[in-house]
């Protein structure tokens, strides 16, 4: 028997094609799309489809589904960390954050990551595989159902490098944005990349106005190369040039993420170099008090240093914020819970 297909991984055109191949009517595609995007996993629960069609569908298709194997709720701010088990027993994490403007979900895009950033827990385990578009979508759907609330914002900043899973991330964006699906606006979605220059250039041509966040974390090649191996392939001048092309093409402001690591990248001169590097760009700097991951040996900068860094960058007329620490009591840097579970802790 041919392999069954995942209905949640299909857009309406693909569903139509699939139905026609089965000898069914195209208009059913919209109905199926709505069911799966509402979180319905059991084809028998798609009550506006005839019984014979449901039986046929069950033979040829399924709906992606995964189990919540751990859920940790912050007592400080209600942030929830979810750990999901996928169909092949792989594990990923997602985080739900509550803001005054609504609920935001931080999703993973890959199982593990190839990029090797030295401060990141996700990269300590080898890369296993890309997530499908439906596995990204289902993180948002499952969390929305779990809390019985509408999710209004998405950040693709969990485990993985989203632009290293380019085709699936694009498909996910179009699915999650679809008006018959979750209908989350592109402007409410941020994608974070460590700097895959050719992919940033490609993305600038897709007419998808998502916010691009660049994991910068250092103001020069020397420091960046030490903590982010990707910098050897795509050094800062190439990365900044690609960012300028992206902002020109999309008219969207870029966010530069900068994790402050004690004595590594948090000196006054670093702040000056950073400001000079990006001055005049349509951008914003988000300073992140780095998560202390015991195994990395990196330690968070002091509050005073963070404030000094912010003041210096701002003095160049660049808008700068310090990321609020969400769920600090349930912490575990992104990827750390997965790692603990894999180690059997
Ligand atoms: S910071 Fe992002 S790109 Fe770098 S290793 Fe971690 S998950 Fe991968």
| Residue pLDDT, tens place only, 251-307 | 999 999 999 999 999 999 999 999 999 999 999 999 988 766 656 678 889 999 999
Residue carrying structure tokens 């191996």: 229
Which range scores top for mean pLDDT: 42-46, 250-254, 287-291, 338-342?
42-46
Tell how far the Cα of 40 is from the centroid of ligand 1, in angstroms.
32
Is residue 29 lining ligand 1, measured as CB closer than 6 Å?
Answer: no
338, pLDDT greater than 80:
no
Six-digit token string for 16:
């139509």
* CB of 122 shorter than 6 A to ligand 1: yes
Mean pLDDT of 86-93: 94
**CA 17 to centroid of ligand 1, rounded, Å:** 37
The C-alpha atoms of residue 115 and residue 161 are separated, in whole angstroms, by: 7
Look up residue 128 and give its two tokens: 């296993």
Closest ligand 1 atom to Cα of 158: 7
Query: Is the distance from the beta carbon of residue 161 to the nearest atom of ligand 1 less than 6 Å?
Result: yes
Q: Ligand 1 centre and the CA of 58: distance in Å?
A: 38
**Does the pLDDT value for residue 327 go beyond 80?**
no
- How far, in Å, CA of 185 to CA of 177, rounded? 6
Q: Residues, the chain, total?
A: 345
Residue of the nearest CA to atom 6 in ligand 1?
Answer: 120
**Average pLDDT taken over every residue of the chain:** 91
Low-confidence winner among 139-153, 197-211, 229-243, 293-307 (lowest mean pLDDT): 293-307
For 224, residues 6+ apart whose C-beta sits below 8 A from its C-beta are: 216, 217, 218, 231, 236
Average pLDDT over residues 153-161: 94
Cα–Cα dist 1/325, whole Å: 50
Q: Partners of 212 in the beta sheet?
A: 191
Query: Which of 125, 50, 47, 23 lies closest to 337 in space, CA to CA?
Result: 125
Q: Which of 318, 119, 337 is nearest to 215 (CA)?
A: 119
94 φ, ψ (degrees, to nearest 5): -140, 160
* Ligand 1 midpoint to CA 157 (Å): 9
* CA of 121, closest atom in ligand 1: 6
Does an H or E element contain 19, and which? helix 12-21
Question: What pLDDT does 276 receive?
Answer: 97
The arithmetic mean of pLDDT across residues 310-323, rounded, is 96
- Residues with catalytic annotation? 93, 334
| Mean pLDDT value of segment 73-90 | 92
Task: Ligand 1 pocket test: pick from 111, 114, 116, 120 the residue with the most ligand atoms within 8 Å of its Cβ.
Answer: 120
Across residues 160-181, what is the average pLDDT?
A: 98
Sorted by sequence, the CB contacts under 8 Å of residue 30 that are 6+ apart come out as 12, 180
Q: pLDDT digit string (tens) for 10-25?
A: 999 999 999 999 999 9
pLDDT the model gives residue 335 = 55
Specify the residue with its C-alpha closest to ligand 1, atom 7: 160
Sheet holding 283-289, edge to edge: 67-73, 80-85, 91-99, 102-107, 151-156, 189-193, 211-215, 254-260, 283-289, 320-322
pLDDT at site 339: 52
Instruction: Establish whether residue 113 lines the binding site of ligand 1, counting it when its CB lies within 6 angstroms of any ligand atom.
Output: yes
The pLDDT value recorded for residue 332 is 44
Would you say the CB of residue 175 lies under 6 angstroms from ligand 1?
no
**Checking DSSP bridges between strand 211-215 and strand 91-99, what pairing results, if any?**
unpaired
pLDDT the model gives residue 298: 83
User: Does the Cβ of 334 fall within 6 Å of ligand 1?
Assistant: no
pLDDT at residue 45, as a whole number = 98
Q: What is the pLDDT of residue 345?
A: 42
- The torsion angle over the Cα atoms of residues 277, 279, 281 and 282, rounded to 10 degrees, is 120
Residue 124 pLDDT > 80: no
Per the CB < 8 A criterion, the answer to whether 7 and 17 are in contact is: no
């Amino acid at each position: 028997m041919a392999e069954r297909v995942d209905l949640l991984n299909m857009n309406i055109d693909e569903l139509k094609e699939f139905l026609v191949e089965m000898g069914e009517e195209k208009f059913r595609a919209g109905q199926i799309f709505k069911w799966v995007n509402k979180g319905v996993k059991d084809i028998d629960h798609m009550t506006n489809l005839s019984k014979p069609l449901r039986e046929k569908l069950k033979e040829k298709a399924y709906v992606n589904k995964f189990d919540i194997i751990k859920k940790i709720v912050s007592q400080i701010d209600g942030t929830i960390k979810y750990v999901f088990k996928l169909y092949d027993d792989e594990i990923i994490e997602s985080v739900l954050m509550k803001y005054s403007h609504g609920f935001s979900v931080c999703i993973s895009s890959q199982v593990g990551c190839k990029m090797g950033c030295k401060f990141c827990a996700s990269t300590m385990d080898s890369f296993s595989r890309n997530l499908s578009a439906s596995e990204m979508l289902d993180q948002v759907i499952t969390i929305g159902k779990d809390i019985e609330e509408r999710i209004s914002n998405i950040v693709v900043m969990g485990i993985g490098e989203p632009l290293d899973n380019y085709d699936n991330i694009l498909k996910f964006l179009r699915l999650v944005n679809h008006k018959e699906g979750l209908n989350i606006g592109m402007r409410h979605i941020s994608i974070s990349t460590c700097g895959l220059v050719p992919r940033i250039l490609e993305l600038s041509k897709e007419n998808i106005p998502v916010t691009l966040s660049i994991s910068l974390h250092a103001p020069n090649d020397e420091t960046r190369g030490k903590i982010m191996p990707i910098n050897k392939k795509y050094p800062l001048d190439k990365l900044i040039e690609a960012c300028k092309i992206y902002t020109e093409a999309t008219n969207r402001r870029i966010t530069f993420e900068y994790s402050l690591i004690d004595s590594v990248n948090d000196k006054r001169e670093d702040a000056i170099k950073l400001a000079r590097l990006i001055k005049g760009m349509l951008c914003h700097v988000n300073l992140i008090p780095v998560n202390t991951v015991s195994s990395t040996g990196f330690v968070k900068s002091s509050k005073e240093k963070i404030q000094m860094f912010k003041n210096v960058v701002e003095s160049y007329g660049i808008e700068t914020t310090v990321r609020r620490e969400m769920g600090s009591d349930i912490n575990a840097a992104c990827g750390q819970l997965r790692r603990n579970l894999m180690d059997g802790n």
